[in-house]
Amino acid sequence: MSDPIRLLHFADVHIGMENYGRTDPATGLSSRVVDFLRRMDEMVEYARDHDADLVIFAGDAFKSRNPTPTFQREFAWRIQDLAALCPVLLLVGNHDLPTIEKRASSIEIYDTLAVPNTILGREYENRVVDTKRGPVLVGTAPYPVRNHLLRDVDVPHRSTIAEIDAILERHLDRVLQELADQAGEYDMPRVLTGHFSVSGAVWGSERSVMLGRDVTVMLSTLADPAWDYVALGHIHNHQCLTPGRADVPPVIYSGSLERIDFGEENDRKGFVWVELERGRARWDFIEVNCRPFVTLRVDVRRAGDPTQVVLEQIRRHDLRDAIVRVIITADPEADLLLNERAIFYALKDEGANHVAAIQRDVERPARLRLGTSPEGLMPDQLLENYLKTKDVSPARIALLLDHARQIFDMES
């Protein structure tokens, strides 16, 4: 019996994300771009150490559809390192597609130059990929572009957007089912890779970087025993959509390699390592050392020294190399006493890589509805209303009003 095929599955690298970064003097790149590249380097090292047979990149190499030559170079170096180990299949994702149809995708250069050991997945098709431990059938399902799908279907006149979406989704399901039917003719391990949204998947914060509207695929279409493993990209939150099921293949989003923003603060990031056989796939999620994002929430209302309260909270957390934001809930009095400069330097002293924000949410008491213009009220009435907005007890209000009236009488 031959050894299982060793497959590495990753996606959504998005090189070019530069938020919360600064220029890295060693490379001239944004420090955040360097973060993404280092995660790729970790993955390449893992593939080398574990003798990968096949790498599947499930789409979205860059943040932009028109990446800079520098970003293309950095990505290419790492793809070249992987291709020196084994075949690398590059699936076209939505961020890889050009804005104008006839133009090339951002990863098409690998096919144009016939870069050894690289395969471009830009069509819905099955292909046999030879690896050192045997052949693998790979079905490719690039990002479904609505305009392309509309050419292949009949849409009734005056159809609503929802009706058009349903027509396109049924058509895409048929295309994917045809790939599964064809795959059944091959006696070898079989993998489907796709870049799209699947019904039931849990989204992360990537909606903020999405381009275009999605055509959704039914999970039941992908969970077909014709496949041994389904390698997905497009959603940044790593997840298995078929947990605990032995009757269908693992349908898995590898997730992205690095955090994009605070919406992914608690997400694990990495890639998937698969031992693949016909009828069986054992997989593990390999977590990478991605940049920590940390949110500190501090309530300083009614604090005598609000800045000290924030500094104590900072000291309780491990902020080394983290991108940090501080959200401070304050009342107007505490807000006046906050020393934002001291807070910033305390964060840096604790090793924060970048201070994303020091946000002050000041609680403003609701204005009392007086019923008449304030100009029509006596000074003691105005004071009484003010004290009520500050939640002062009735007994203390009475005492303060007695003293205040003596002062008012002295002034009159």
CA distance 392 to 378: 19
CA distance 407 to 412: 9
CB distance 66 to 83 below 8 Å: no
Neighbours of 99 (CB within 10 A): 8
CA distance 338 to 240: 46
CA distance 191 to 199: 20
CA distance 385 to 337: 25
> Which is it for the CA torsion 133, 76, 289, 45, positive or negative?
positive
Q: With CA atoms as reference, report the closest residue to 141 among 228, 221, 53.
A: 221
The CATH number of domain 5-287 is 3.40.50.300: no
Ranges of CATH 3.60.21.10 domains, the chain: 5-287
Return the pLDDT at 130.
Answer: 96
Task: Write the DSSP symbol of residue 2.
Answer: P
CB distance 190 to 228 below 8 Å: yes
CA distance 274 to 228: 10
CB distance 259 to 13 below 8 Å: no
H or E element at residue 91: strand 88-91
Task: Write the DSSP symbol of residue 96.
Answer: G
Residue ranges, the chain, pLDDT below 50: 208-211, 368, 370-371
Q: With CA atoms as reference, report the closest residue to 133 among 283, 272, 2, 228.
A: 2
CB distance 181 to 215 below 8 Å: no
